[in-house]
Structure 1
């Protein structure tokens, strides 16, 4: 129902061209009881085709602050490009000095309320966990980046201005805001994914984070304004954490976004310290080889900061005092993977036709997010796209079982444990100076003593229960025995057929292959057995893993090498006489043209 002009209230959205600001302007105008003025430090705004005649376009033409009852200050990280954010003086001028100017303008123009959109980064030092943090969490003693430092200063200025000249202020701290128009979090993840670093889970992968869908951040600002009008004591001068109230693992969120846009899901774990050292080393090498050129290593450090610490926040104060509850659930974003793939293939209309029906805000939020980032999706026309649930070549080669999981480092701890155990066995059998039989006997004796000693342990030691080994741990299932027996029978059958063929002298090729293989094996065992075992051990835990990670690149390199080899062979054959090349396998002489052809008609040489 239309609202009369005398019922309209006037507000200003500072930073209304930015990420959160744009969504706030849309939300205020949709409510129908606001006259919205937009001001921004940005120089220009690119409106979408459908926005030129909209309320937003009209709002941009109006002037700010004087005559307004409330100012929403949403100047955020996304309003400053990376080049600007690296300039301390410029950032300080825009954020801190800008906050002072806004406060002074509000006081001079008798504005009643000022609501500042801050960030959870103001309480994080980037190295310590924050679990279920609330308003009692102090500002960080040290900041891991310049932007968080100056945002904290600006927030403090706004809160300090509360109740001065009748101005009421409060601040909201949304965590990891994302959604349509995001120029920070999602593009940041995609940029790192393109560089190849997000093939790995950095750290334990268990660190929890809170995320805030952009429409929820805008909704919280509106809630804060309404609460500031009616509950001044409990809201003015206060800060409120804003999230989707659904904490999740950082890597689960990143995987959801990346899978939806066609990038490979991070699967392999590496310790934070290892990645930091590798990143710093590669950064130094890159800077020396390519001085002045942009690289991804600063972004890698940011990913380490985001993913290595738990940062979760309590929104109960926002729920109690400003009446905030998320309007778009994070759970609904689990449709992103399927929907994003549909957008890449068939556009947003396909998504609208296939995504299950739900509330309008949820459906619009999902569709808008996908449309916003479909241009960042992996181009399936330039690279062979493989569904992430599909097995890789090397996994199929290894049998897709436990061996594949270990050699492909599906779980870093398990794979490293097996690698360490094999290294210990290698030392025990090859480097300790004993014979193989003696080493085996001592190993069995050690295992017997260990099992016997374990059985003597009481059920509890220093209050800790000691688990007992059940007899099933030493039993082999019938199915495993059948598989093992079948494999042994197949091998024995193959050896028998080979032996029979050799004894009859039926195939000289087989004889030569067997003789060469046995001679090669004898040479290795006699001279290089120790080196060969350690070489095979290292390669088995590295080559399979590397090949799966760079399967497409390695296949292309092999294809190029094979093509070049074939061309080299053809070039070599061209210099031979036709009478010689015609005798080679696969080549024949054309009596009509006097040319030799090999490999299905490729001309080798002329007569």
Structure 2
């Protein structure tokens, strides 16, 4: 692929990043490159067990076909020292550059690219290939269907990183053919693969959260994903095209994908199911998803953060909510790019490399068979739980009919409680007398006996109830536990409101719903808990964002006073 001797010496700035490591190995595998790995770590630390990336690099270092140099792109002299003597520079920056703040990201991404361009011009570097991102045209307000290079930069990028990458890419393209430097940029879409620290880890974070209970987004939402090996291959193709097809490639940007658009949801499920996570069944309406995306976005803007603990959910929900597919015909025609790894193979390789994030499926299966549901534990897991959760439908039905009959007898027949009790006892007496005439075995049922163990348990329960009530009263008397005071106060208020003022109606609703709500909750326990978890998380994010905003405003006021 390389046509002249000088172009065999290249520098990979960001050679220890996700894409950079794959690019370095691919260059070394070709065998006709002398690769200088430049990165921001002071010294190179290799893993002797990493046969895919570090072992090939270690072998190349020992033979002299590779070398390592420290580089700080914020310092032009450092960049000159790293690239001096080379004729090709691949610039692959890290997507974690904006972890701290906007200024830090700007100095690394934008100012860093300016330093690299200036250093390349001073060192007479012939070609600069910049690894950008397809997100430079994405604003998360409009969908992109088969978009091509005629798309303009997004007026409002989805995050700070994309905005800075757009500025850096434009700077690279504008520098083309200045002082003999030829430049081009690649825009890979949703890069994934072994070593990924963004896409798949974010999916796993979402799978472990309350969002995992629900299908997010639409089944028809399509996206282009790019396996990392194909990105490395495309960068090398772009360098070769700058040599042979200079006019049609230099100063241009090209979208790079796997050429296999796929449903975002299906892609994510294939990844997660490969790691042992289960497929959710409940689908959120699009309106609810849009509202939650808006709330999360507002909280992110308030805290001025793009890479905090909640960004995984934000990014994945955004990804699932919009179609973003790109036309790679320009890359195919001008730089002769075609994927070297299919999407299926890429997904399989990625899953295998992330086995440490896999969920222990066997323990989950055992939990499903041997662990009681939360509702069964709440009800004590005994006879009451069996009845209210309809484990024995016949017994539960008879109990339900009995409860309804008693409620009707005591509260709906317009008799006093004493009169209703007397009539019920009279009916029971006639029934028992008549049954005793028909069966001599009835006497065994009328024999009342309480075992010593049963009586001990009964007394122990009474003592526990008494001690618990005493503890509550003592805590209230001390006046220190406001949470307990509010709970008791609210409970007494509702007791007065419903049980005292509307006792028959309240009791009827409790009896009826006790046979329905417990059963329904157990059937949809995961979904209900997931929804509660999401609401709690949104509430927590809101509180954190408000506190952060308050602290920021306080700091600003203090600075103004000083």
User: Could you say what secondary structure the match of 1:326 adopts?
Assistant: coil
Q: Distance in 1 between matches of 2:181 and 2:410?
A: 89
**Aligned ranges 1:281-320 → 2 under 5 Å:** 296-320=309-333
For these two proteins, the number of residue pairs brought into alignment is 395
Q: 1:196 offset after TM fit, Å?
A: 2.6
Alignment match of 2:68 (pick from 61, 81, 97): 61
- Structure 2 length normalisation: TM-score? 0.62
Q: 1:207 offset after TM fit, Å?
A: 1.1
Alignment match of 1:519 (pick from 386, 406, 416): 406
Query: Does the CA contact (< 8 Å) of 1:130 and 1:312 recur in 2?
Result: yes
Q: Which residue of structure 1 aligns with residue 40 of structure 2?
A: 41
- Structure 1 length normalisation: TM-score? 0.57
Q: Which residue of structure 2 aligns with residue 27 of structure 1?
A: 26
Q: 1:283 offset after TM fit, Å?
A: 11
Q: Which residue of structure 2 aligns with residue 543 of structure 1?
A: 521
Alignment match of 1:145 (pick from 151, 159, 184): 159
Q: Distance in 2 between matches of 1:511 and 1:538?
A: 15
Cα deviation digits, residues 429-456 of structure 1 (max 9, x gap): xxxxxxxxxxxxxxxxxxxxxxxxxxxx
Q: Which residue of structure 1 aligns with residue 486 of structure 2?
A: none
The verdict on how the C-alpha distance between 1:46 and 1:382 changes in structure 2, with shifts beyond 3 A counting, is farther
Q: 1:69 offset after TM fit, Å?
A: 1.6
Q: Which residue of structure 2 aligns with residue 208 of structure 1?
A: 222
Cα deviation digits, residues 481-526 of structure 1 (max 9, x gap): xxxxxxxxxx9xx9xxx9xxxxxxxxxxx99996555334777998
Cα deviation digits, residues 103-140 of structure 1 (max 9, x gap): 00111111111111000110001121011000001000
Q: Distance in 1 between matches of 2:13 and 2:235?
A: 13
Q: Which residue of structure 2 aligns with residue 377 of structure 1?
A: 358
Q: Distance in 1 between matches of 2:325 and 2:511?
A: 48
The verdict on how the C-alpha distance between 1:333 and 1:543 changes in structure 2, with shifts beyond 3 A counting, is farther
Q: Which residue of structure 2 aligns with residue 157 of structure 1?
A: 171
Q: Which residue of structure 2 aligns with residue 188 of structure 1?
A: 202
Cα deviation digits, residues 499-556 of structure 1 (max 9, x gap): xxxxxxxxxxx9999655533477799875996899699959962563244899x9xx
Q: Which residue of structure 1 aligns with residue 10 of structure 2?
A: 11
Alignment match of 2:121 (pick from 95, 107, 125): 107
Alignment of 1:259 onto 2:273: yes
Query: Does the CA contact (< 8 Å) of 1:255 and 1:266 recur in 2?
Result: no
Q: Distance in 2 between matches of 1:46 and 1:175?
A: 29
Query: Does the CA contact (< 8 Å) of 2:102 and 2:160 recur in 1?
Result: yes
Q: Which runs of 5+ in 2 are unaligned?
A: 70-80, 300-304, 374-392, 414-503, 533-562
Cα deviation digits, residues 183-213 of structure 1 (max 9, x gap): 1111111112112313322232321110000
RMSD: 4.2
Alignment of 1:97 onto 2:115: no
Q: Which residue of structure 2 aligns with residue 443 of structure 1?
A: none
Cα deviation digits, residues 143-190 of structure 1 (max 9, x gap): 121111100000000000001111111100000000011111111111
The verdict on how the C-alpha distance between 1:127 and 1:282 changes in structure 2, with shifts beyond 3 A counting, is closer
Q: 1:263 offset after TM fit, Å?
A: 1.4
Q: Which runs of 5+ in 1 are unaligned?
A: 286-291, 337-365, 395-490, 499-509, 555-607
Q: Distance in 2 between matches of 1:15 and 1:75?
A: 5
